[in-house]
Structure 1
Amino acid sequence: MVKLLPNVYGYNNPFSTMEYADLHKIVIAALLHDIGKFSYRGGTPLSDIFAEIDRDQTGWTGSHAKWSADFVHRVLKDDLIEDLVLHHHHPAGAEHKHYAEIIQEADHISSAMDREPREGEGDVRTEPLKSIFPCIAQPQGTGNTKERYYLPSILSLDENPFPLTMEDVTRYQTTLTRSYDILWKNFMREAEILIKNPHPDTVTALLKRFTARIPSAVYKNEPDIPLYDHAVTTAAIAHCLTVSENENPFLLIQGDLSGIQHFLFDVDTPQDARKGMAKRLRGRSFWLQLFMDAVVNEIEETAGLFAPSVLWNTGGKFLILAPNTPTICRQVEAIGRTVNQHLLDRLGGRICLVLAMVETDKEGLKDFQATSIRLTDETGRRKVRKFADCIVTFTATGENRPLDAYCSVCGGVLDDSGICQSCKDHASIGTRLARARYCVRSTRNRHPISFQEFGLRTSYRLTEEALPEPGDDIFSINDTRCQVPGGGARGSMFIGNTVPVVNNDILTFGNIADLSHGAPRLGIIKADVDNLGRIFAFGLPKEKRSISRIHTLSDQFQFFFAGYLNRICQEFVVFHDLCENCRAKVPASERTLITDKDENGASGKQYVLYDTEDVCERCRDKAVSKFYISYSGGDDLLIIGPWDAALDLANRIYEDFRRFTAENPEITLSAGLAVVSPRLPVSRAVALADDLLESAKINGRDRIAFFDFECVGWRDGRNGYERGFSTLLKSGKDLEEGIKKGVISKRTIYTLLRLWTQTYDDPSTVSFEETTAQRIRRKRYLPHLKYMVVRNVEKKNRETIEQMIIPVFPWIKLPVYWASLRMRTDKR
Structure 2
Amino acid sequence: MDNNDIKTTLAALLHDIGKFYQRTGEKIDKTFYESFMKNNGYKHAAFTAQFIDKFLDEKFGSLLVPSADHHISVDGIVKKADIIASGHDRRSEEALEEEQSNHYITGRMYSIFSILYDLENNERKYINLGKQIDYFPSDVKDTDDIEKSKELYRSLFREFADKVKSINAKEYRELHQYLYPLIKEYTTTIPSSTYNVDTPTISLYDHLKLTAAIANCLNKPNLNQEKPFMIVEYDMSGIQSYIYKITEGSNTKPQVAKSLRTRSFYLNILCDFITYAIANEFNVTYENILYTSGGRGQVLIPNTIDIEEKLTILFDKITKEIFNVHYTDISFSFSTTALDEVELQFASFKKTMYGDSRKLWIGKNQKFVNLLKKDPQSFIRKPLTNACSLCESNEAKNTLCLFCNKLLDLNNEILAKYDNFVIEFDFSKDKNQKGIVFDFGSLGSIIFHNGLDFSLNTNSYYETINYPLIGETKYYAKSNITGMSFEELAKKTKGDPKLAVIKMDVDNLGWTFHSGFDEDKTSVSKILTLSRNMDFFFSKIIVDLAKEYENKIYIIYSGGDDLAIVLPASLSLKFVNDINNKFKSYTGNPELHLSAGIEIFHPKSPIRFAIQRAEEELDSAKKREGKNAIGVFNEVIANQDLKHILTEIEYYIEKFEKNKISRTALHNIYLSISLSLENKSKDAFQRYIPHIAYS
Give the TM-score normalised by the residue count of structure 1: 0.76
Offset at residue 461 of structure 1 (A): 1.6
Amino acid at match of 1:127: G
> 2:162 maps to what in 1?
189
8 A Cα contact 2:507 2:595, kept in partner: yes
Query: How far does residue 452 in structure 1 lie from its aligned partner after superposition?
Result: 2.7
Task: Give the equivalent residue in structure 2 for 1:466.
Answer: 453
Residues 741 and 116 of structure 1, relative CA distance in 2, 3 Å threshold: farther
1:4-50 per-residue CA deviation (whole Å, 9 max, x = no partner) reads x6xxxxxxxxxxxxxx3222111111111111111111112222244
Which residue of the partner structure matches residue 493 of structure 1? 474
Contact 2:497-2:602 at 8 Å conserved across structures:
yes
| Counterpart check, 1:71 vs 2:51 | yes
Shift in CA distance, 29/376, structure 1 to aligned 2, threshold 3 Å: same
Question: Does structure 1 conserve the Cα–Cα contact (< 8 Å) formed by 2:275 and 2:298?
Answer: no
Instruction: Give the match for residue 202 of structure 1.
Output: 178
CA 144–259 in structure 1, closer or farther in 2 if over 3 Å, else same: farther
Q: Return the offset for 1:655.
A: 0.9
Equivalent position amino acid for 1:463 in 2: N
Residue 744 of structure 1: how far off its partner (Å): 3.3
Counterpart residue identity of residue 90, structure 2: R
Partner of 2:464: 476
Is 1:438 matched up with 2:432? no
Q: Classify the secondary structure of the residue corresponding to 1:383.
A: coil
Quote how far apart the aligned CAs of 1:647 are.
2.7
Partner of 1:218, secondary structure, is coil
The answer to whether the 8 Å contact 1:270/1:409 transfers is: no
1: CA distance, partners of 2:651 / 2:238? 43
Asked if 1:736 is matched to 2:662, the reply is no
Of residues 200, 215, 224 in structure 2, which corresponds to 1:246?
A: 224
> Secondary structure in 2 aligned to 1:191?
helix
- Matching of residue 369 in structure 1 with residue 350 in structure 2: yes
- Contact 1:476–1:491 (8 Å) recurs in 2: yes
Q: Which of 655, 673, 678 matches 1:761?
A: 678
CA distance in 2, matches of 1:241, 1:630: 41
Q: How far off its partner does 1:730 sit?
A: 2.2
Supply the AA of the counterpart residue of 2:89. D
Match of 2:522 among 533, 545, 567: 545
Given the alignment, which residue of 500, 508, 511 partners 1:523?
A: 500
Taking structure 1 as reference, are residues 755 and 173 closer, same or farther at Cα in structure 2, changes over 3 Å only? farther
CA distance in 2, matches of 1:656, 1:75: 39
Contact 2:492 2:552 in 1 (8 A): yes
Structure-2 residue corresponding to 1:770 = none
Distance 1:548 1:91 in 2: 24
Whole-angstrom CA distance in 1 between matches of 2:362 and 2:445:
29
Q: Judge conservation of contact 1:252–1:319 (CA < 8 Å) in 2.
A: yes
Residue aligning to 2:376:
393
Provide the rounded CA distance (Å) in 2 between the counterparts of 1:509 and 1:350.
26
Which of 400, 425, 438 lines up with 2:406 in the alignment?
425
**1:510 maps to which of 459, 462, 487:** 487
| Cα shift readout 1:356-402 (whole Å, capped 9, x = no counterpart) | 11211012212210121038954497223221221253688555554
How far does residue 209 in structure 1 lie from its aligned partner after superposition? 0.4
**Residues 605-663 of structure 1: per-residue CA shift (max 9 Å, x gap):** xxxxxxxxxxxxxxxxxxxx21211111111111112112233222111110111112x
Instruction: Give the Cα–Cα distance (whole angstroms) in 1 for the partners of residues 554 and 341 of structure 2.
Output: 45
CA distance in 2, matches of 1:659, 1:27: 37
Match of 1:87 in 2: 69
Identify the residue that residue 684 of structure 1 maps to in structure 2.
609
What is the alpha-carbon distance in structure 2 between the residues aligned to residue 40 and residue 524 of structure 1?
A: 50
- CA–CA distance in structure 2, aligned partners of residues 299 and 345 of structure 1: 19
**Separation in 2 of the partners of 1:697 and 1:792?**
40
8 Å CA contact 2:480, 2:547 repeated in 1? no
Query: In structure 1, what is the equivalent of residue 262 of structure 2?
Result: 283
Partner of 2:621: 696
1:506-547 deviations in Å (ceiling 9; x for gaps): 312222112222211111011111111111111111112211
Matched, 1:666 2:591: yes
Paired residues for 1:321-340 under 5 Å: 321-340=300-319
Which position in structure 1 is the counterpart of 2:136? 162
Maintained 8 Å contact 2:333/2:363: yes
Between 544-553 and 368-377, the greater mean CA deviation after superposition: 368-377
Task: Answer yes or no: is the 8 Å Cα contact 1:672–1:705 preserved in 2.
Answer: yes
What is the alpha-carbon distance in structure 1 between the residues aligned to residue 665 and residue 357 of structure 2? Answer: 55
Q: CA RMSD in A?
A: 2.9
8 A Cα contact 2:390 2:404, kept in partner: no
Partner of 2:22: 40
Q: 2:245 aligns with which of 242, 252, 266?
A: 266
Tell me, in whole angstroms, the C-alpha distance in 2 between the residues paired with 1:255 and 1:53. 45
Moved more, 82-91 or 423-432: 423-432
Secondary structure in structure 2 of the residue aligned to 1:125:
helix
In 2, Cα distance between the equivalents of 1:756 and 1:153? 52
* Cα distance change on mapping 1:145 and 1:419 into 2, 3 Å: closer
Change (3 A) 1:261 1:376: farther
Change (3 A) 1:373 1:544: same
Structure 2 SS opposite 1:124: helix
Q: SS where residue 400 of structure 2 aligns?
A: coil
Change (3 A) 1:466 1:396: closer
Matched, 1:134 2:114: yes
- Cα deviation code 1:710-748 (max 9, x no counterpart): 211112xxxxxxxx1122022101111012223334333
Among candidates 134, 152, 176, match of residue 149 of structure 2: 176
Where in structure 2 are the equivalents of 1:557-572 lying within 5 Å? Answer: 557-572=534-549
Q: CA deviation at 1:165?
A: 2.8
List aligned pairs for 1:397-412, cutoff 5 A.
Answer: 397=380, 399-402=382-385, 404-412=386-394
Give 1:348 shift. 3.1
The one-letter amino acid of 1:242's match is N
Name 1:220's counterpart in structure 2.
Answer: 196
**Equivalent residue, structure 2, for 1:675:** 600
**Cα–Cα, structure 1 residues 449 and 700, in superposed 2: closer, same or farther, change >3 Å?**
farther
User: Secondary structure at the residue paired with 1:526?
Assistant: strand
1:667-715 CA-partner distances (Å, limit 9, x unpaired): 1111111110111111111111111111111113544434421211112
Matched, 1:108 2:83: yes
How many pairs are equivalent?
A: 671
Q: State the identity %.
A: 26
Secondary structure, in 3 states, of the residue corresponding to 1:631?
strand
| One-letter identity of the residue aligned with 2:498 | R
Aligned counterparts of 1:747 and 1:62: Cα–Cα separation in 2: 76
The answer for the alignment partner of 1:634 in structure 2 is 560
Residue 243 of structure 1 aligns to a residue whose secondary structure is: coil
Counterpart of 1:713 in structure 2 is 638
Give the Cα–Cα distance (whole angstroms) in 1 for the partners of residues 360 and 679 of structure 2: 45
Asked if structure 1 preserves the Cα contact closer than 8 Å seen for 2:246 and 2:256, the reply is: no
Q: 1:382 aligns with which of 350, 363, 367?
A: 363
Partner AA of 2:604 in structure 1: R
Matches of 2:686 and 2:383, distance apart in 1: 71
Q: C-alpha displacement at 1:240, in angstroms?
A: 1.2
- Gaps of at least 5 residues in structure 1 are 6-19, 93-97, 483-488, 574-624, 716-723, 764-777, 794-828
TM-score (norm 2): 0.89
Match of 1:152 among 115, 120, 129: 129
In 2, are the aligned partners of 1:478 and 1:492 still within 8 Å (CA)? yes
Whole-Å separation in 2 of the counterparts to 1:143 and 1:372: 28
Q: Residues 713 and 725 of structure 1 are in contact (CA less than 8 Å); yes or no, is this contact kept in structure 2? A: yes
2:282 corresponding residue in structure 1: 303
SS in 2 for 1:353: strand
SS of the aligned residue for 2:630 comes to strand
* CA shift for structure 1 position 465: 4.1
Match of 1:812 in 2: none
Q: CA deviation at 1:292?
A: 1.5
Aligned partner of 1:611 in structure 2 is none
